[in-house]
């Protein structure tokens, strides 16, 4: 495999872009300086080779004389222009009426800013405190609470010194029995088992535990690695490429929506923001009425939700544990007379480090890796990590569960390069690779009906940054400990939901509009920034598939998505409402994530949201809740699976992750996926008993 490297011309273009987009890396204070172009190239070399090649090609095109003629009316390369001309070119591309130009600008901007601000040099001078395990708690909303811990609380209360707590909760441990890194497998390994489960997140880990405890011989395959608590350094630059799919660069094909999905043992449950929410009752009613769901009415699902909550130690966040951002959401809602409340989270002994999105160093998170995978392993299941599933072959035909071969590639834990092959032979296969991974496997396998990959739901999310006259520091504390559900349902069951997310430097840098010295000046307000996000329940036009996952000629997933008209109107309402929340909580100004900065300072400014553009790359939108691409239902034309989760036309092949959900939820999906996986596992066991 040839190491990735930019050409001399591509390096010149990248260096010129870095100097204009993040100039403080070159001419700022001494501790903020770094060869940013070299750091970006290093990041590209460590990531996916195809993605890196696309960036290289884009650099060549951007820095051509022809592009100079088309965008600056002069036949000069961008790298040869003076700084003022370069800035003018970037501003033109930023707000261009040509979608491809906006896409290219955002690709460069996000790559450069996120690389810089994930490093210590970028964080220098903006008030970042650094990893909690290397210092004493510096803020009232981080570290344990004083007092004595009650088992009914999710947050640690202790009078013990912090250094003793930090040491105790992050001691290195050995890999559990039954876990084998792919690097230890012999070349061309072939195993025959009873059940092969693909993926170890909220769906895969739960279904594996249930099936193993029912007596099935289970093997789990996971593309990511098993990371120990002591591996979680609490640094964005180190943990993001380790823990997220495509090193957190996954996005829709037009780069208009960034998609954050976990790629590690535990999947999304290893990096999410802990909140546990039941599926709204009207959503379950829709599934029964419109999609033929069986046994999923609200009163039938309630015991499953209660079971999941017991197993994951889900508890309400105590009132004295909120961060300023979450307190602002609660206080702003109270001032406006809106419904909001403390969230329920799946933790035991949380120390409020704030770095949940980078893995929990303190062993508090009660997700798949802490709860369900140990149960599966104790029941005899085996887990192979660093193994990427390519396709499933039906080796036999006929019968209730014909033999299948799961073909997979062993990948290097760090470089992701291929190291060998694994084949698992099993009559029962459960796909739980997420709503991008699972349809990609089915498409590469030529299995399933025409609906495979369609009906993508993203829970589209955008943020509003409030700047306050008090310290907010969103990189510490419980990330998401409050929710505002005032507008959750909407007149047609499709509304929006407001939450408070964590705000890490790299995330903030990409979220804030602009570039250059003006952007750096805004970043210096980092400690006074409070973020709130509006999450839209998408799919209001219920007969329309707004997005899809397909595979390219290499078999790699490609994600297409466009916000529907009704959902776009909901997004605009959500932006205005969330800005009102900020102002009611005392923010002196609020900024939405449009390329050109528009500051909201009073209710009179809210009408801006009726006219500001919200098309692709005209408003920063992200998604961490990806569902629906292999949904269940009774209509073969509009669903991939039966209501039991079995892929149509392939007996013994099941789906048990977020892709099976027939509609968007409108709430964070972790608890729903765990409950649905429990139901699917019970039906697999009933249909395919052991012994």
Q: How many CA atoms lie within 13 A of 419 on its CB side?
A: 19
Q: What is the pLDDT of residue 261?
A: 96
The yes-or-no verdict on residue 585 having pLDDT over 70 is: yes
Print burial letters for 447-481: b (CB count within 10 Å at least 16), e (below 16): bbbebbbbbbbbbbbbbbbbbbeeebbbbbbbbbb
How many Cβ atoms are within 10 Å of 535's Cβ, its own excluded?
Answer: 28
Query: Which has the minimum average pLDDT: 72-81, 107-116, 309-318, 597-606?
Result: 72-81
CA distances from 364 to 229, 274, 402 (A): 10, 10, 41
Tokens standing for residue 646: 């079995």
Higher pLDDT, 74 or 532: 532
Q: What is the pLDDT of residue 691?
A: 67
Higher pLDDT, 445 or 613: 445
Q: What is the pLDDT of residue 169?
A: 67
Relative to beta strand 418-426, strand 404-411 is antiparallel
Q: What is the pLDDT of residue 199?
A: 98
Contacts of 104 (CB under 8 A, 6+ apart): 58, 62, 93
Tokens standing for residue 609: 């949201």
Average pLDDT over residues 487-492: 91
Q: What is the pLDDT of residue 1?
A: 42
How many Cβ atoms are within 10 Å of 91's Cβ, its own excluded?
Answer: 16
pLDDT tens-digit readout, 2-25 = 578 999 999 999 999 999 999 999
The yes-or-no verdict on residue 139 having pLDDT over 50 is: yes
Q: What is the pLDDT of residue 135?
A: 94
Q: Answer whether 522's CB lies under 8 Å from 130's CB.
A: no
Alpha-carbon gap, residue 17 to 12, rounded angstroms: 9
Q: How confident is the model at residue 76 (pLDDT cuts 50, 70, 90)?
A: confident
Q: What is the pLDDT of residue 172?
A: 66
pLDDT tens-digit readout, 153-189 = 999 999 999 988 887 766 667 889 999 999 999 989 9
Residue 250, classified by CB atoms within 10 Å of its CB into exposed (0-12), middle (13-18) or buried (19+), is buried
Determine the number of helices (DSSP H) and then strands (DSSP E) in the chain.
20, 23
Q: What is the pLDDT of residue 70?
A: 64
The yes-or-no verdict on residue 510 having pLDDT over 70 is: yes
Relative to beta strand 599-600, strand 621-623 is unpaired
Q: Answer whether 441's CB lies under 8 Å from 422's CB.
A: no
The proportion of the chain whose per-residue pLDDT surpasses 70, expressed as a percent, equals 98
According to CATH, the superfamily of the domain at 179-313+348-454+628-687 is FAD/NAD(P)-binding domain (3.50.50.60)
Residue 428, classified by CB atoms within 10 Å of its CB into exposed (0-12), middle (13-18) or buried (19+), is buried
Extract long-range pairs of 165-170: CB within 8 Å, 24+ residues apart.
165/351, 165/362, 166/132, 166/133, 166/351, 166/362, 169/229, 169/349, 169/351, 169/361, 169/362, 169/363, 169/364, 170/133, 170/229, 170/230, 170/232, 170/361, 170/362, 170/363
The yes-or-no verdict on residue 666 having pLDDT over 90 is: yes
Q: What is the pLDDT of residue 568?
A: 94
Q: What is the pLDDT of residue 584?
A: 98
Query: Which has the minimum average pLDDT: 158-167, 281-290, 324-333?
Result: 158-167
Residue carrying the six token digits 């709130």: 532
Average pLDDT over residues 142-150: 91
Tokens standing for residue 283: 């959503």
* Mutual angle of helices 565-584 and 324-336, in 10-degree steps: 100
Q: What is the DSSP letter of 370?
A: I
Alpha-carbon gap, residue 567 to 459, rounded angstroms: 10
Q: What is the pLDDT of residue 220?
A: 98
Return the ∠ at Cα 241 (arms to 240 and 245), rounded to 5°. Answer: 95
Q: What is the pLDDT of residue 69?
A: 65
pLDDT tens-digit readout, 402-442 = 999 999 999 998 888 889 999 999 999 999 999 999 999 99
Alpha-carbon gap, residue 113 to 512, rounded angstroms: 10
Alpha-carbon gap, residue 410 to 401, rounded angstroms: 26
Q: Answer whether 68's CB lies under 8 Å from 86's CB.
A: no
Which has the closest alpha carbon to 380: 198, 175, 185, 218?
Answer: 218
pLDDT tens-digit readout, 514-544 = 999 999 999 999 999 999 999 999 999 998 9
Q: What is the pLDDT of residue 663?
A: 97
Contacts of 550 (CB under 8 A, 6+ apart): 443, 453, 557, 558, 560
The proportion of the chain whose per-residue pLDDT surpasses 90, expressed as a percent, equals 80
Average pLDDT, the chain: 93
Q: What is the pLDDT of residue 233?
A: 94
Q: What is the pLDDT of residue 414?
A: 83
Alpha-carbon gap, residue 425 to 438, rounded angstroms: 18
pLDDT tens-digit readout, 376-411 = 999 999 999 999 999 999 998 888 999 999 999 999
Q: Answer whether 662's CB lies under 8 Å from 439's CB.
A: no
Q: How confident is the model at residue 150 (pLDDT cuts 50, 70, 90)?
A: confident
User: Residue 197's beta-bridge partner residues?
Assistant: 220, 430
DSSP string for 237-292: HHHHHHHBGGGGT-B-TTSSEEE--B-STTGGGGTS--B--PPPHHHHHHHHHHH-
Average pLDDT over residues 597-617: 88
pTM: 0.95
User: Residue 145's beta-bridge partner residues?
Assistant: 157
Q: How confident is the model at residue 614 (pLDDT cuts 50, 70, 90)?
A: confident
User: Residue 181's beta-bridge partner residues?
Assistant: 385
Structural domain boundaries of the chain?
Answer: 8-123, 179-313+348-454+628-687, 461-537+564-614
pLDDT tens-digit readout, 188-211 = 999 999 999 999 999 999 999 999
Average pLDDT over residues 242-260: 90
């Amino acid at each position: 495999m040839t190491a990735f490297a930019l050409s001399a011309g591509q390096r010149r273009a990248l260096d010129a872009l870095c100097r204009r987009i993040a100039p403080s890396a070159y001419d700022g204070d001494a501790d903020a300086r770094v060869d940013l172009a070299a750091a970006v190239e290093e990041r590209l070399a460590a990531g996916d080779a195809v993605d890196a090649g696309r960036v290289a090609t884009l650099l060549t095109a951007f820095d051509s004389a022809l592009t100079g003629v088309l965008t600056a009316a002069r036949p000069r390369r961008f790298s040869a222009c003076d700084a003022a001309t370069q800035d003018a070119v970037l501003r033109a591309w930023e707000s261009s009426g040509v979608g491809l130009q906006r896409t290219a600008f955002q690709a460069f901007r996000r790559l450069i800013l996120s690389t810089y601000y994930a490093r210590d040099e970028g964080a220098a001078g903006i008030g970042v405190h650094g990893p909690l395990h290397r210092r004493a708690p510096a803020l009232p909303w981080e570290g344990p609470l004083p007092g004595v811990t009650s088992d009914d609380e999710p947050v640690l209360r202790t009078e013990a010194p912090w250094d003793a707590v930090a040491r105790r909760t992050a001691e290195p441990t050995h890999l559990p029995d039954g876990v084998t890194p792919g690097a230890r497998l012999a070349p061309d390994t072939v195993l025959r088992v009873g059940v092969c489960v693909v993926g170890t997140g909220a769906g895969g880990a739960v279904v594996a535990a249930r099936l193993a405890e029912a007596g099935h011989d289970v093997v789990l395959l996971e593309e990511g690695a098993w990371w120990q608590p002591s591996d979680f350094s609490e640094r964005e630059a180190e943990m993001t490429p380790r823990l997220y799919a495509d090193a957190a660069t996954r996005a829709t094909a037009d780069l208009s929506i960034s998609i954050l999905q976990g790629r590690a043992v535990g999947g999304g449950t290893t990096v999410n923001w802990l909140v546990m929410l039941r599926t709204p009752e009207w959503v379950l009613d829709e599934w029964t009425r419109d999609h033929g769901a069986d046994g999923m009415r609200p009163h039938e699902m309630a015991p499953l939700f209660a079971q999941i909550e017991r197993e994951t130690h889900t508890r309400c966040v105590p009132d004295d544990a909120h961060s300023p951002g979450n307190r602002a959401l609660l206080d702003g809602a109270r001032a406006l007379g809106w419904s909001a409340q403390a969230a329920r989270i799946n933790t035991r002994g949380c120390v409020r480090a704030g770095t949940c999105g980078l893995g929990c160093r303190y062993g508090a998170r009660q997700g798949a890796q802490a709860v369900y995978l140990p149960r599966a392993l104790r029941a005899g299941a085996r887990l192979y990590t660093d193994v990427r599933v390519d396709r499933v072959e039906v080796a036999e035909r006929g019968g209730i569960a014909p033999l299948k071969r799961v073909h997979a590639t062993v990948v290097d834990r760090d470089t992701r390069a291929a190291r060998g092959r694994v084949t698992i032979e099993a009559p029962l296969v459960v796909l739980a690779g997420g709503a991008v991974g699972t349809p990609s496997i089915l498409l590469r396998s030529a299995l399933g009906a025409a609906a495979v990959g369609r009906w993508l739901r993203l829970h589209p999310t955008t943020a509003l940054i409030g700047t306050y006259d008090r310290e907010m520091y969103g990189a510490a504390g419980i990330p998401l400990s409050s929710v505002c559900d005032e507008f959750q349902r909407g007149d047609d069951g499709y509304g929006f939901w407001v939450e408070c997310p964590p705000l890490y430097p790299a995330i903030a840098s990409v979220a804030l509009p602009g570039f250059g010295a003006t952007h750096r000046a805004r970043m210096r307000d980092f400690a006074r920034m409070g973020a709130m996000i509006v999450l839209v329940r998408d799919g209001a036009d219920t007969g329309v598939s707004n997005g899809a996952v397909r595979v390219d000629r290499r078999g790699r997933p490609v994600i297409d998505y466009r916000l529907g008209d009704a959902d776009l109107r909901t997004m605009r309402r959500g932006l205005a409402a969330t800005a009102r929340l900020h102002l009611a909580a005392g923010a002196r100004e609020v900024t939405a994530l449009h390329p050109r900065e528009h500051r909201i300072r009073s209710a009179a400014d809210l009408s801006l949201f009726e006219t500001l553009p919200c098309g692709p790359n005209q408003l920063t939108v992200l998604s961490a809740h990806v569902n629906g691409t292999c949904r269940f239902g009774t209509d073969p034309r509009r669903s991939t699976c039966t209501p039991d989760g079995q892929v149509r036309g392939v007996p013994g092949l099941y789906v048990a992750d977020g892709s099976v959900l027939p509609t968007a939820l409108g709430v964070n999906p972790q608890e729903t996926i765990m409950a649905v996986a429990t139901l699917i596992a019970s039906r697999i066991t009933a249909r395919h008993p052991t012994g």
